[in-house]
Amino acid sequence: MTYSTQQSLREEFETALGIISQASVAILALLDIRVAEGKDPQWFSQQLEQARQNLGSWAVVGRKLNLDDVEMSRFSLRLRHLQQLVPRYESGQAISQNQLFAALRFVACLERLRDNQPKLEYSTVLAADNDAQQRQALQQLRALELTLKGLIANAWPDQQQLINHLKQRIGGDKVRRWLKLGKQGDVLSGMLFSELALLVIDKKEYAQHYERLFNAADSLTLFVEPRKTLQTFLDDVRVIRNAAVQQQPLTSAQMTMLDAFYSAIAGPVQEAYAKGRVSVNPQAFMSMDTAKLDAFFEEAAQKNRAVGGDIFDLRDTIERPGAQRQGAERDTQQLLVSVLWGVTGVAFIAVALGALYLASDRVNPPQTAQSVNHASSQAVEISQPVNINETPREKLSRKGIRWDVNHFRAAIDRNETDVVQLFLDGGMSWQVAWTEQALAAKQDDSLNLLLRHRAQMDEIKPCRRMIATLSHALAQGETFTSMRKQFLKSFCVTPGVVKRQQHALDQAELRAQANPDANTKKWAAIQRSIYQEISSGA
């Protein structure tokens, strides 16, 4: 399918919205909310919030849908993103590429939800598929992988320099594994798809080698930062690729989304190739006979089996070489501490039991074995030692919560202040972008905790995204709360941001003067309120 015409965009989008509407009825019924028909994304989001209030928490909603915290958070964030881009839709209105991208990503989320929860039986078929479309999807997956390899090789034409660079940035252990798994003299051939993608979207690598290639691309504007959009698309491609590597037929939703993302990612590279700026030609990678294509995916399957699969989300940056080793050493130390406390506890219990036995033997006549056992069990219950030196990570582990970014973000979204506090006390950094849902839901308890630990906020230049998200939220009728103002004043009172917002205000006022309708006046008022807030704190 070609995404260049408004008609094709509208047709795909309306089909996706129909699927979302149908699925919303089934999902809400499972959450004890009965509706005759589904409506727009904003309505669906409001109904889910009502379900949360009825059931008591998002955790209960997640259990009914068979989603864990991370999956529930992903579901909510994708729906909210779609709602921001398409609060309401009238048939026939103009549709942007980004609106279609958001709708397709949410349909993919609905597809995974249906796979998790057998009680849901809605359809997610976007179009009829056939063998030719399956083959084209496999060719696109292969072409994207070879495009990534080509871009990296274009940035590092000397293999030995690339190997040395990888050792410095990622560590010798991983490089040796790649050389062992790959073809002789080709370190990239030993990498998983996500590892190749990380070498392109890593902040440093992207800024040095790929920023000029992708930053001007109109197809990579789903999020404010093109690099973040590219990362998101590539991670979605990783999930689709995993299904193909496992020889599962791709669904029509997967193929439609892949087709859209292929154009968005390969398009800028193809354009640069046509202008002679790069030597990578994505179109050339699409030509391959069936036998060679099958061999490519068989090789990919062998690589996945050797390392346990390409199962981890695509990270934002390359982890420095010593980070994993330090983490392992820290975990080992924590394990030793736990063992020592366990030994101490056992000794304490033994002493307590001995003292109890001696005391009872002096005061009372000998007891039956049954009564002694009963006393022993009571002593054990009373004498359990409390580890007063338990670290935040250990406390999280005891709660059954893994130490990772996804669970931290889920806790912020759920306003679970005790969990958020443990992550912050443990030293985990956070980003302003993670607070969008909490700000919209006015979850001030968790947000106040984050502001008290603002030194741990490590997002680079968060204001462009924050102001864009806030502007759209206010345009949809949300409130400019005191917490939103606090976040602006905490991170966006630098001269550069104030100057950029002044320009945005000037442009909005010019549009309002040229076309003085309710929308342009409202947008100008929003830009003015944001400017006044950050300029007063500068």
The answer for residues whose C-beta is within 8 angstroms of residue 390's C-beta and 6 or more apart is 398
Q: Over 50: is that where the pLDDT of 127 sits?
A: yes
Rounded to 10 degrees, the C-alpha dihedral 227/229/235/241 comes to -110
Q: Where are the beta strands (DSSP E) in 244-308?
A: none
| Residue 311 identity | I
Q: Which residue has the higher pLDDT, 138 or 515?
A: 138
Q: What is the tens place of the pLDDT at every residue in 250-274? A: 999 999 999 999 999 999 999 999 9
Backbone torsions φ then ψ of 431, nearest 5 degrees: -130, 145
CB 155 within 8 A of CB 209: yes
512 sits in which H/E element: helix 495-514
Single out the residue of 201, 198, 204 nearest to residue 214, CA to CA: 201
Q: Helices 6-30 and 58-65 meet at what angle, rounded to 10?
A: 100
Q: Categorize the per-residue pLDDT at 370 as very low, low, confident or very high, splitting at 50, 70 and 90.
A: very low
Those residues with Cβ within 8 angstroms of residue 324's Cβ, 6 or more apart along the chain or in another chain: 171
Closest CA to 443 of 489, 480, 483, 488: 483
CA distances from 500 to 59, 468, 495, 535 (A): 40, 12, 9, 11
Taking residues 347-357, what's their average pLDDT? 50
Selection from 61-75, 99-113, 317-331, 380-394 with the highest mean pLDDT: 99-113
Query: Structure pTM?
Result: 0.63
**Per-residue pLDDT averaged across 33-59, rounded?**
88
Per-residue pLDDT band for 122 (boundaries 50, 70, 90) equals very high
| Nearest CA-CA partner of 187 in 205, 175, 202 | 175
Q: pLDDT confidence of 379, banded at 50, 70, 90?
A: very low
Q: What phi and psi values does residue 315 have, to the nearest 5 degrees? A: -75, 170
Find the distance separating the first CA and the last CA of the chain, reported in whole Å.
49
Contact 196, 148 (CB under 8 A): yes
Report the percent of the chain where pLDDT is more than 70: 86
The upper half-sphere exposure of residue 259, i.e. CA atoms within 13 Å in the direction of its Cβ, equals 24
Q: Report d(CA 229, CA 233) in Å as an integer.
A: 6
* Segment among 50-59, 162-171, 333-342, 347-356 with least mean pLDDT: 333-342
How far, in Å, CA of 396 to CA of 164, rounded?
Answer: 38
Neighbours of 504 (CB within 10 A): 20
Is the CA virtual torsion 248, 251, 255, 258 positive or negative? negative
Q: Could you tell me if 139 and 286 are in contact, meaning their C-beta atoms sit under 8 angstroms apart?
A: yes
